[in-house]
Structure 1
């Protein structure tokens, strides 16, 4: 279950409540397992399973977004969430977030089929989505023009840039 639950969550976007029913375990157990999995996901696997798209990938991703959502030249959507953590001893206030809990940030960038092609995990919960985004490797690559002429979508927390369309 320690691998099945996170894989099901990442592959389908299934809610914790639905996964709870599916796997026959409490919702809190699903949440805890997913959090632990994402926090321990080794960097070497990121390069194997989660990779920056090639130019051909980008063209396909843009076509998928256009076909599914009517959005031209969009190759991804980015957003952040909080993974609740316990046992924070140092810098406690840094990890206390607006959701009234101690957390670390998880930022995901996905394609039109919700496949993850970039993630950042580990920033303290008090960090704003825009700060996490502006300090990540993906942002630096996009600033250099690595996805031009394409764009990603973000909510109002994200900066409006040539490469990032904020809602």
Structure 2
């Protein structure tokens, strides 16, 4: 069921079981996987964080990165209750999945369940991840990489807004960030490429059960990577216009992020001069 876009009826017929039996089997597996969420999706400790930022710096020259963050929409059938709330900016019903991955494409944090109409930055706040933005979880002034949908802060570096007048240093910064941030695009592509039920309309009506199903797919994704089981999936990067994004971020956090981003920009500029 998770690995194909087929309906329950189709899968049940293939295995010669009733549709209800197939539904119960999937539910049992999902619940069993969810019980082990904290075992397979874990935030990196100090030693692992250093391994991640060292590897990313060697590959992309961007310093102190311990992961990348992004959101994706999981298409669902029209819900019975409040269907209008689930319509996203692309015009279809969906539930949102926010993920953070490391250099190995393993998910280190997942959050699913918000309706499709909610903006990425609001999903970020509702996920409670801001509570993890501490020195303990981001040692040595480390950070995540995000796209323009996120507001800059000390723990999340985002690109400079391209107004047509970026300096060479800002362009270099944006290029390096974009190259490094591709790991989250690849991780999401790998997740949906392996568990293709997430690519098509999810064959589930219970919106209260869908988030657990999505997270179970993420757990299986990590288990596969732990066993070096990768598949080749093309990555499609969608450039979306995010001009009028609400940025209700505490001003102090934003100023810290801007100052840190400028420091990294000058570091990358000096590194180019030394090559």
SS of equivalent to 1:57: helix
Matches within 5 A, 1:127-166: 127-142=118-133, 144-145=134-135, 146-148=137-139, 149-166=141-158
Q: Deviation per CA, 1:59-113, whole angstroms, max 9, x where unpaired?
A: 1111111112111100100000100111411121111101111000011101122
Give the alignment of 1:117-136 within 5 angstroms. 117-136=108-127
Q: Which has the higher contact order (CA 8 A, sep 6+)?
A: 2
Tell me the number of residue pairs that the alignment of Structure 1 and Structure 2 aligns. 137
1:109 paired to 2:100: yes
Q: Is the CA contact 1:68–1:112 (under 8 Å) kept in the aligned structure 2?
A: no
Matched residue, 2:39: 48
Instruction: Check if 1:86 corresponds to 2:83.
Output: no
Structure 1 match to 2:65? 74
Runs of at least 4 residues off by over 3 Å: 40-43
Q: Which has the higher strand share?
A: 1
Structure 2, unaligned runs of 5 or more = 7-25, 160-275
**Distance in 2 of aligned mates of 1:127 and 1:44:** 28
Contact 1:130 1:157 in 2 (8 A): yes
Q: Which has the larger radius of gyration?
A: 2
User: CA offset at residue 135 of structure 1?
Assistant: 2.1
Instruction: Give distance in 1, aligned partners of 2:44 and 2:97.
Output: 20
User: Secondary structure in 2 aligned to 1:156?
Assistant: coil
Give the structure with the higher percent helix: 2
SS at match of 1:59: helix
Q: Deviations over 1:4-62 (max 9, x none)?
A: x3xxxxxxxxxxxxxxxxxxx7xx54xxxxxx99xx57542321110111111111111
TM-score (normalised: structure 1):
0.73
Q: Secondary structure at the match of 1:48?
A: helix
Name the SS of the counterpart of 1:86 in structure 2. Answer: coil
- Once the two structures are superposed, the pairs formed by residues 7-22 of structure 1 within 5 Å of their partners are none
CA distance in 2, matches of 1:133, 1:121: 11
